[in-house]
Structure 1
Amino acid sequence: MSMLKQETEASEVVAKASLARQAAPRLGWLATEQKNEALLRMADALEAEYESIVAANAEDISRGRKNGISESLLDRLSLSRERIAAMAEGLRQIVALPDPIGETLAEFERPNGLKIRQVRVPLGVVGIIYEARPNVTVDAAGLCLKTGNAVVLRGGSSAISSNKRIVEVLHEALRRTEVPQDALQLVQDPSRSSVDQMLKLNGLLDVLIPRGGASLIQNVVMNATVPVIETGAGICHTYIDDSADYEMALAIALNAKVQRPSVCNAMETLLVHEQFAERHLPSLAQAFTERNVELRGDDEARRLVPSMNKAEAADWDTEYNDYILNIRVVSHIDEALEHIRRHGTKHSECIVTENADHAERFLQEVDAAAVYHNASTRFTDGFEFGFGAEIGISTQKLHARGPMGLPALTSSKYRIVGNGQIRG
């Protein structure tokens, strides 16, 4: 056996994935009531241990500031008693949701007497690679355990203290339940090699779900041999049509950008019809500037608002996750649709209009996981869709798309019952 193979087999990643694989069959057999009890204990434990979790999070925040992490990313990393309570509430919401495991998707009988039933089953062992948000640790654990999936988590190094303490708390809660502790694993190795190993763990991991920036997602998609559910970067657009109500357009655009700019469903580019722009762009721009948003515009936008910075070609393809907004003035809905086709990431797109034909055309033609008419893109979220916590927002088209709740973490199998049939 080569030294490289020995190191790989002895690694933390392989050891923990192996433990998860061994726990998966036991977890998959548990009744809904047993899984729900575990989730409720996990929720109670988070709230009871919030002080120790916040203390661990403070270590991450301090380290992040020393490393020059932006304030918007520090916001994603930061935990408080209120945010931990929200994480616990997310687990309780999952408890209240129907358990999809065992659900009959189809049932029929063939002419030869075979009785065939298609039922939902767990995926098996889910690997999740994510970046700064420690709430993902809780959301992912809850969703996976409810659906009978073991989970191997590999969070970013910026949240390592928070994630370690959260998983310690969850493990202690699981110790008093029927859910095996080994079904929840956290990879603590912060090196790039731990990610690289997870990408190749065929036979131990059944699926990988990356959550984070474009570079992380593309690394996983391009290099994994384990099947991947792609959660995409969010270069989201809001298009204000010529017939849009000004007050509505202002409220939606501001919410889409500044309510929480660090998240993937925040708006990065505002497209404005030229007639609306002539009437309202200066006041729109002022509203953003008053909220400390840096504006970068095309030539026409800068003609109307000379104080705006010039948007470079690369800006239209950048997910800022920050208080920066691109603005482009377009002559028609066709130009807006073409811009979104060229620069969008198939995440969330919005049109603000009173023109029913334009609204229907936008909803029909835009290729994205979520398309909105007269509502902020910030609603692309598992909680807001009524799914409870989400495992991510899928921007691909196979298996799952959009906010991924419990059903997205299942597969199916056919159960066939006969009475001696053989095939001739």
Structure 2
Amino acid sequence: MNQREEVLSKAESAKSIAPRIATLTTPEKNDLLRAAAEALVKRSAEIIEANKADITAGEKAGMADSLIDRLRLDDNRIAGIADGLRQVASLSDPVGEVLQGRTMDNGIQMKQVRVPLGVMGMVYEARPNVTVDAFGLALKSGNVPLLRGSKSARRSNEKLVEILQDVAAAHDLPRETVQLLPCESHDSVKDLITARGLVDVVIPRGGAKLIDAVVTGATVLAIETGTGNCHFYIDRDAELDSAIEMLLNGKTRRCSVCNATEVVLIDVALDDADKKRIITALQETGVTVHGEVSELEAFGATDIVEATESDWTDEYLSFDIAAKVVEGIDGAVEHITRYSTGHTEAIASKNAYTCQQFANEIDAAAVMINASTAFTDGEVYGMGAEIGISTQKLHARGPMALPELTSTKWILEGTGHTRP
């Protein structure tokens, strides 16, 4: 069969088993998740071998170091992925949760309960850990995942899905409980995101181009997990040592993730020596600073790369950062409003009024007050593994974990009631 036929065939299989997966009990789901975690660790040598082939191919193709880092798997990372499944198993099952209910005046019992979304398409780049995260979250929330990973991680994803399917089969579930779609061309993405009637929702996770292509091209409901052009504003009233520590943590802790700090905004009212300290601290940790050279050299900064418009609009996902001097909190809000992707925005200030203004006026999924942008993470929030950070305003916003992968339905129970 051709690629489109394969995608639709797998979508049909997923749709056919969705009712069965939706009605799995919590113990059944948890047993499967824990068994999958054990299988991943036990077969880690197979996973690493497949991953090495992907790494070699990526290096030969000139893949950026940040993407190679996202792609790489080793024993520690596989153990972490397995722990993620165990953590999901330990979380409360959202399916069947009663959100509200009451007895109507006519005696009908009504309640609103959480139910699975159904067939959940995932389109993602490079990071093979997403394959397992998506499986775990989809299963615990009663959904059937259709996974379309990137070509760069094809061998890794194939091995991971093979292991997960083996575990499903050992638990008397169809191997179609999790499926990997072809990734040789972009056409498979188009086939997935237009499979109305078979796919209930599609979630893109990756760079801005991938997300935009899915959201604008989908006829299936799409949940946008946005890119992270995250800003960190250092106010005139900031405690500078602490602000620099938070900035460096957001930028250098792991530069290839969506919650990494990509732009630092510096209050013009800070002393020139303090402004220079901020830039120097970044450079001393190996971060390349981009900005308007004349603006930053005015207070003694050196080795600045002249910024272009893309420095303000795009994620770096590398040891690079854009720096700009702004006219206080109003200037920071103005800049962020213009360039924010709505992911995470942060401020360092000891002034409670300034912090409150920032929190009130910034429109983002997460606002950090005197905290690093790195805290936007489902696991940190206590949600367990996440599908991504939603930057849209309908259905879900922020980390998308188990509750966000469900919908609701109303159940009304009468005793032969008819409506007059």
Instruction: Please tell me the TM-score bracket, short chain as reference.
Output: over 0.9
Question: Aligned residue for 1:149?
Answer: 143
Question: Aligned residue for 1:404?
Answer: 400
Tell me how far apart the structure 2 counterparts of residues 303 and 165 of structure 1 sit (CA, whole Å).
54
Question: Aligned residue for 1:331?
Answer: 327
- Cα distance, 1:297 vs. partner? 1.5
Q: Percent identity?
A: 47
Q: Which amino acid aligns with 1:162?
A: S
From 94, 103, 108, give the equivalent of 1:114.
Answer: 108
Q: Tell me the TM-score normalised to structure 2 length.
A: 0.97
- Work out whether residues 210 and 216 of structure 1, in 8 Å CA contact, stay in contact via their aligned partners in 2: yes
Question: Aligned residue for 1:50?
Answer: 44
Question: Aligned residue for 1:296?
Answer: 290
Aligned length: 418
From 306, 310, 320, give the equivalent of 2:306.
Answer: 310
From 81, 94, 101, give the equivalent of 1:87.
Answer: 81
Write the deviation string for residues 41-61 of structure 1: whole angstroms up to 9, x where unpaired: 000000001111011000110
SS in 2 for 1:201: coil
Tell me how far apart the structure 2 counterparts of residues 218 and 224 of structure 1 sit (CA, whole Å).
10
Question: Aligned residue for 1:3?
Answer: none
- Work out whether residues 302 and 309 of structure 1, in 8 Å CA contact, stay in contact via their aligned partners in 2: no
Write the deviation string for residues 219-269 of structure 1: whole angstroms up to 9, x where unpaired: 111110000000001100000000111111111000111111111111111
Write the deviation string for residues 200-230 of structure 1: whole angstroms up to 9, x where unpaired: 1011100000000000000111110000000
Q: Which amino acid aligns with 1:69?
A: M
Q: Which amino acid aligns with 2:157?
A: N
- Work out whether residues 130 and 156 of structure 1, in 8 Å CA contact, stay in contact via their aligned partners in 2: yes
Question: Alpha carbon RMSD of aligned pairs, Å?
Answer: 1.2
Q: Which amino acid aligns with 1:361?
A: Q
Question: Aligned residue for 2:369?
Answer: 373
- Cα distance, 1:183 vs. partner? 1.7
SS in 1 for 2:203: strand
- Work out whether residues 38 and 179 of structure 1, in 8 Å CA contact, stay in contact via their aligned partners in 2: no
Alignment of 1:13-412 (within 5 A): 13-276=7-270, 278-298=272-292, 299-304=294-299, 305-412=301-408
Tell me how far apart the structure 2 counterparts of residues 252 and 237 of structure 1 sit (CA, whole Å).
12
- Work out whether residues 164 and 188 of structure 1, in 8 Å CA contact, stay in contact via their aligned partners in 2: no
Deviates more, 1:109-118 or 1:193-202: 109-118
Tell me how far apart the structure 2 counterparts of residues 343 and 170 of structure 1 sit (CA, whole Å).
40
Structure 2 unaligned runs (5+)? none
Tell me how far apart the structure 1 counterparts of residues 403 and 175 of structure 2 sit (CA, whole Å).
23
Tell me how far apart the structure 2 counterparts of residues 393 and 179 of structure 1 sit (CA, whole Å).
30
Write the deviation string for residues 76-107 of structure 1: whole angstroms up to 9, x where unpaired: 11001000000000000001100010000111
Distance of aligned partners of 1:387 and 1:178 in 2 relative to their CA distance in 1, 3 Å threshold: farther
Tell me how far apart the structure 1 counterparts of residues 87 and 51 of structure 2 sit (CA, whole Å).
24
SS in 2 for 1:127: strand
- Cα distance, 1:178 vs. partner? 4.5
- Cα distance, 1:12 vs. partner? 1.5
- Work out whether residues 165 and 177 of structure 2, in 8 Å CA contact, stay in contact via their aligned partners in 1: no
SS in 2 for 1:91: helix
Question: Aligned residue for 2:411?
Answer: 415
- Cα distance, 1:7 vs. partner? 5.4
- Cα distance, 1:279 vs. partner? 3.0
Q: Which amino acid aligns with 1:271?
A: L
- Cα distance, 1:313 vs. partner? 2.2
- Work out whether residues 168 and 177 of structure 2, in 8 Å CA contact, stay in contact via their aligned partners in 1: no
- Work out whether residues 239 and 272 of structure 1, in 8 Å CA contact, stay in contact via their aligned partners in 2: yes
Tell me how far apart the structure 2 counterparts of residues 183 and 401 of structure 1 sit (CA, whole Å).
27
- Work out whether residues 41 and 174 of structure 1, in 8 Å CA contact, stay in contact via their aligned partners in 2: no
Write the deviation string for residues 366-397 of structure 1: whole angstroms up to 9, x where unpaired: 10000001111111111111111001100000
- Work out whether residues 99 and 147 of structure 1, in 8 Å CA contact, stay in contact via their aligned partners in 2: yes
Distance of aligned partners of 1:145 and 1:397 in 2 relative to their CA distance in 1, 3 Å threshold: same
Deviates more, 1:174-183 or 1:76-85: 174-183
Structure 1 unaligned runs (5+)? 1-5
Tell me how far apart the structure 1 counterparts of residues 101 and 208 of structure 2 sit (CA, whole Å).
41
- Work out whether residues 38 and 178 of structure 1, in 8 Å CA contact, stay in contact via their aligned partners in 2: no
Deviates more, 1:177-186 or 1:380-389: 177-186
Tell me how far apart the structure 1 counterparts of residues 136 and 41 of structure 2 sit (CA, whole Å).
15
- Work out whether residues 77 and 134 of structure 1, in 8 Å CA contact, stay in contact via their aligned partners in 2: yes
- Work out whether residues 150 and 183 of structure 2, in 8 Å CA contact, stay in contact via their aligned partners in 1: no
- Cα distance, 1:420 vs. partner? 1.1
- Cα distance, 1:300 vs. partner? 2.1
Q: Tell me the TM-score normalised to structure 1 length.
A: 0.96
